Structure 1
Amino acid sequence: MRQEKLFEESKYIKPRPVLKWAGGKTQMLDILVPNSPKKYNKYIEPFVGGGALFFELSPEDGIIADSNPDIINLYEIIAEDVDGLIDILKEMKNEEEFYYTIRATDPTTLTKTESAARTLYLNRTCYNGLYRVNKKGQFNVPFGKYKNPKICDEENLRAASRVLKSTKIIHSDYIDVLRKYAEPGDFVFLDPPYIPISQYSDFKRYTKEQFDEEDQKVLAEEVKRLRDIGCHVLLTNSNHPLVHELYKEFEISVHQTKRNINSKASKRIGEDVLVKAEPFKRRIIGEPKEISKEMEKFPPTRFMGSKEKLLGYIWGIASQFKFESVLDLFSGSGVVSYMFKTQNKQVLSNDYMSFSSNITKALVENNHVVLDEKDIEIVFDETTLTDNFVSTTFQGLYFNDEDNAFIDLVRANLDKLENDIKQSLVLAALVRACLKKRPRGIFTYTGNRYNDGRRDLTLSLKEQFLEAVEAINGAVFDNGKENISRNEDSLSTELSADLVYIDPPYYSPLSDNEYVRRYHFVEGLVKNWKNVEMQWNTKTKKFKNYPTPFSTLEGAYKAFDRLFERHQNSILIVSYSSNSLPTKEEMLAIMTKYKKNVDVVSVNHKYSFGNQGHKVGNNKNTVEEYLFVGY
């Protein structure tokens, strides 16, 4: 009962260092804490020693390391078996004979908990809390002769255990730790063996591990590397000319500190240097990066504004950040969502067009379901009565009577499939078949005026469907994530993620950006023409466009402002075109209201068809594609 009470109380106690440590930074906390970053990702301290700053900050995500195995074992036991450690410490005596008996004990004959208790006992009762070993590696500091040292500070050990339980504790060289774990946005505190100077040269003999001049130079280069990749770094060292030379490009301050380990009072005042290395502002590299070979399985179609040719640039930018989840707000063809899925990210995909969100339901949300021969037999069952809606409504407009009848048959058999994912796969295959069978892949005109003799146009819709099924089945894979597809308004969806990719309809006074006008047939097909307002008087038998703020200049401005505000806590990557409004400068101005850092990458891009296609030989489909990056 008492242990439970103490554990509960430890939740409200800030831990203090459990070790007395020569060169410990408790006396510098009033300098170190104000110089620490207010926000950071991980806390990393690879020369942890007594861990004064670590315990003071008590980070939620911390990594501590040291080359001293006794220290690391102690911290591991405090995290894993603090009760066992406390029980042993309570039996240990502050007596000289007992001290030398414990000191002489070979730690390799002890359990990990017993060894940890030995380390802590010796530290609390030896002279000045020093850690010193002889050439054989045996601890050789004499008894401290203190009247009443606190051998077992149960309250503090439990408070320390609470923090250490959520900390990665590593016995390793500092370079290995930093190369493996340090990432942009992390806070790294370095308290290495100091460069000895004449004022307190005695300090050298109390330090187990010494850095020579070459070691100090290697450390300085590592600090520069950490700064360059985006880490916050604080480093302490002695006030030595070499320190000032190695770190001259950084902010350096000098602070007087006490040297309690010197036997002469006149030599107990020293000067410590604090080096502060702020991360460089990230420079976004606008170069394409190779994407996963898995992308070759994605079944492409000609799609208005598709980013298929920009995937390398999008991934090249995104890969410069640390993130686990992606929200693709305007998924369109689904190619960007699928690309992020191949990079093993959790993908949340959304589009206001039903046929677009159905594609990502089939290929992004779906991780393992495919269509088999039995499913194909079901959708090909000709005994099922059909409503002939497509055959009647769209006769002679887009496909011949045989193709229209096939569409009606598949529609009629859709509900016979065992689950909604299989229905989604069938609809995705049927949509792909319709788009490939249709010249230019759009439905803004009737007839076959753009027939260029491509193979796709010579196949029946049934043949196209079977090829689409094979392609879509082959593109289904499991990336081990719970991916989501939604059909919602981008401005009101509650979806959020670490990184948000925004590729909205581009507003231009030269042309409309209406996806419904171009794709009304396949959109109606997925919706089964429910909840749409048919415009029966039109030649194409389209339905009324969905309301979108991107249909006007004022609406586009307001929409971007709302989107950036809503997702201001995420990394933002926004695709937009140089021939669209808002302008590049205006987009940057809107984004900087909500993001501290905003960059823009410009890419020469050619769309599959321009916005003024009637100007043969002067087709304005080569533009600068902008990728705005907010972080």
Structure 2
Amino acid sequence: MNIEIKKEVNLPFLKWAGGKRWLIDKYGDKFFSNPDRLIEPFVGSGAVYFGLSPKRAILCDKNADLINTYQAIKDDWQTVVKHLKIHDRNHSYEYYYKLRSQKNRSYAAKAAQFIYLNRTCWNGLYRVNRKGEFNVPMGSKTKVVMDTDDFEKISKQLTNAKLLSGDFTLAINQAKQGDFVFADPPYTVKHNNNGFVKYNEGLFSWDDQIRLRDSLQEAIKRGAKVLVTNAYHSSVRSLYQGMGEIMKLNRPSIIAANSSARGIYEEMVIKCY
């Protein structure tokens, strides 16, 4: 059964490397329609979650700061917006680096800091050093509060979403009959034909790829519908052979230091239902 993407949906309020807004916009027919619950073990910017607008969801990510941001908007969006407006008024080169190094205690302050840095750093990239400190330089964007922002609506939507921070198995292990699992693990497509496995080790190890496949297989046995995205590479095709329909899709890449490094890349979707 195919999905009909709703026209009045919340746009993702974060820019995210590897985000799947292009997939939900261009290939919405690949998604399972009207599941009892959507499960995303790698939620990222939540493009699929906001695009499908499910009645219930489990949203998980290893990035604790990201999940904290969703939790803060869910619980107290007004205070998040209050902090965000302060950042908007004070944004400057000096302010960016001062706030980047700041340690906040409250969920709302941390969330506003996360959104501010995401919107004003270089290409919305999330990167931390060995100490776990965000270290992306300031980018060219100056807009902090967007005309499209509707955090009240997002908060209401998140009311029926269970938020988890940690390994992908925390979410997938809860999948059962009636659930739809959308698994979008970290991966690069720029090295599909040049040391793909080695280059991806720093993002998501091959052992993790195998663990993910095994975890999804168990979810399917329990009756869940599964859609997986990954790089279109022979090793990945072999890994998922026999699990479902393997499709090759094209997508544009815009996150690169210069325009010459951007282009069209091949990605894989495995439809297991």
Q: State whether TM-score is above 0.5.
A: yes
User: Is this contact kept in 1: 2:248–2:267, CA < 8 A?
Assistant: yes
Q: Provide the secondary structure at the position in 1 that maps to 2:51.
A: helix
* 2:166 pairs with 1:169: no
Aligned 8 A contact 2:192 2:233 in 1: no
Per-residue Cα deviation, 1:267-303 (whole angstroms, up to 9, x for no partner): 322111111111xxxxxxxxxxxxxxxxxxxxxxxxx
* Superposed counterparts of 1:115-154, under 5 Å: 115-146=110-141, 148-152=142-146
Deviations 1:388-412, CA, capped at 9 Å, x for gaps: xxxxxxxxxxxxxxxxxxxxxxxxx
- SS of residue in 1 equivalent to 2:150: helix
- Alpha-carbon distance change, 118 to 124 in structure 1, aligned in 2, over 3 angstroms: same
User: Which of 34, 37, 43 lines up with 1:39 in the alignment?
Assistant: 34
CA contact (8 A) 1:13 1:159 kept: no
Q: State the distance in 1 between where 2:190 and 2:205 align.
A: 13
The aligned counterpart of 2:219 is 226
Match of 2:94 among 94, 97, 107: 97
Which residue identity lines up with residue 166 of structure 1 in the other structure? N
SS in 2 for 1:18: coil
Residue equivalent to 2:3: none
Could you give the per-residue CA deviations for residues 80-134 of structure 1, whole angstroms, max 9, x where no partner exists?
Answer: 1000011111111331111001001124xx2111011100000000000000011
**What is the CA distance between 1:261 and its match in structure 2?**
1.6
1:589 corresponds in structure 2 to none
For the 8 Å contact 1:32–1:53, the answer to whether it is kept is no
TM alignment of 1:78-477, pairs within 5 A: 78-92=73-87, 93-107=90-104, 110-146=105-141, 148-152=142-146, 155-179=149-173, 181-194=174-187, 197-198=190-191, 210-249=203-242, 250-269=244-263, 270-278=265-273
Distance in 2, Cα, partners of 1:18 & 1:154: 8
Unaligned runs of 5+ in 2: 1-6
Q: Cα distance, 1:266 vs. partner?
A: 3.4
| SS, match of residue 86 in structure 2 | coil
Tell me by how many angstroms 1:170 deviates: 1.1
Q: Counterpart in 2 of 1:605?
A: none
Closer/same/farther in 2, CA of residues 125 and 137 from structure 1, 3 Å limit: same
C-alpha displacement at 1:149, in angstroms? 2.1
- Structure 1: distance between partners of 2:22 and 2:67: 23
Distance in 1 between residues matched to 2:145 and 2:44, nearest whole Å: 18
Contact 2:34 2:54 in 1 (8 A): no
CA shift for structure 1 position 199: 5.7
Contact kept? 1:86, 1:154, Cα under 8 Å: no
CA distance in 2 between partners of 1:81 and 1:27 (Å): 30
Do the aligned residues in 2 keep the contact of 1:86 with 1:152 (CA within 8 Å)? no
TM-score normalised by structure 1 residue count: 0.39
Structure 1 residues 19, 142: CA separation in 2 closer, same or farther (over 3 Å shift)? same
Residue aligned with 1:274, SS: strand
Q: Is the 8 A contact 2:40 2:171 kept in 1?
A: no
| Higher Rg | 1
Instruction: Tell me how far apart the structure 1 counterparts of residues 164 and 14 of structure 2 sit (CA, whole Å).
Output: 17
Query: SS in structure 2 opposite 1:90?
Result: helix
The residue type paired with residue 241 of structure 1 is: S
2:209 counterpart letter in structure 1: Q
Give the whole-Å Cα distance in 2 for the aligned partners of 1:118 and 1:200.
Answer: 38
- Using the aligned pairs only, state the percent identity: 36
Show CA shifts across 1:497-520 (max 9, x none).
xxxxxxxxxxxxxxxxxxxxxxxx
What secondary structure does 1:85 align onto?
helix
Aligned to 2:61: 66
- Give 1:490-569 correspondences, 5 Å limit: none
2:10 touches 2:50 (CA, 8 Å); kept in 1? yes
Calculate the aligned-residue CA RMSD, in Å. Answer: 2.4
The match for 2:51 is: 56
Q: Deviation of residue 156 (structure 1)?
A: 2.5
Preserved CA contact (<8 Å) 1:184 1:230: yes
Q: 1:225 to 1:124 in 2, by over 3 A?
A: same
Give the Å deviation of 1:32.
Answer: 4.4
> C-alpha distance in 2, partners of 1:78/1:33?
27
Report the Cα distance in structure 2 between the residues aligned to 1:36 and 1:196, rounded to whole angstroms: 22
Change (3 A) 1:48 1:200: farther
CA contact (8 A) 1:72 1:170 kept: yes
Cα pair distance change 1:263/1:68, threshold 3 Å: same
Do the aligned residues in 2 keep the contact of 1:195 with 1:211 (CA within 8 Å)?
Answer: no
The change in CA–CA distance for 1:43 and 1:80 in structure 2 (over 3 A counts) is same
Per-residue CA distance 1:393-451 (angstroms, 9 max, x = gap): xxxxxxxxxxxxxxxxxxxxxxxxxxxxxxxxxxxxxxxxxxxxxxxxxxxxxxxxxxx
Shift in Å at residue 196 of structure 1?
A: 5.5
**Alignment check: 8 A CA contact 1:227 1:233 kept:** yes
Question: How many residues matched?
Answer: 260
2:152 is paired with a residue whose SS is: helix
Against the structure 1 CA distance between its residues 106 and 150, is the aligned structure 2 distance closer, same or farther, given a 3 Å change threshold?
A: closer
Name the aligned partner's letter for residue 62 of structure 1: A
Cα separation, 2, equivalents of 1:139 and 1:88: 19
1:209 shift after superposition: 6.6
In structure 2, the residue corresponding to 1:235 is in which secondary structure?
A: strand
Secondary structure (helix, strand or coil) at the match of 1:121 reads helix
* Structure 2: distance between partners of 1:253 and 1:223: 18
Provide the C-alpha distance between the structure 2 equivalents of 1:66 and 1:236, rounded to a whole number of angstroms.
16
Q: How far does the alpha carbon of each residue in 1:495-543 deviate from its partner, in whole angstroms, 9 at most, with x for none?
A: xxxxxxxxxxxxxxxxxxxxxxxxxxxxxxxxxxxxxxxxxxxxxxxxx
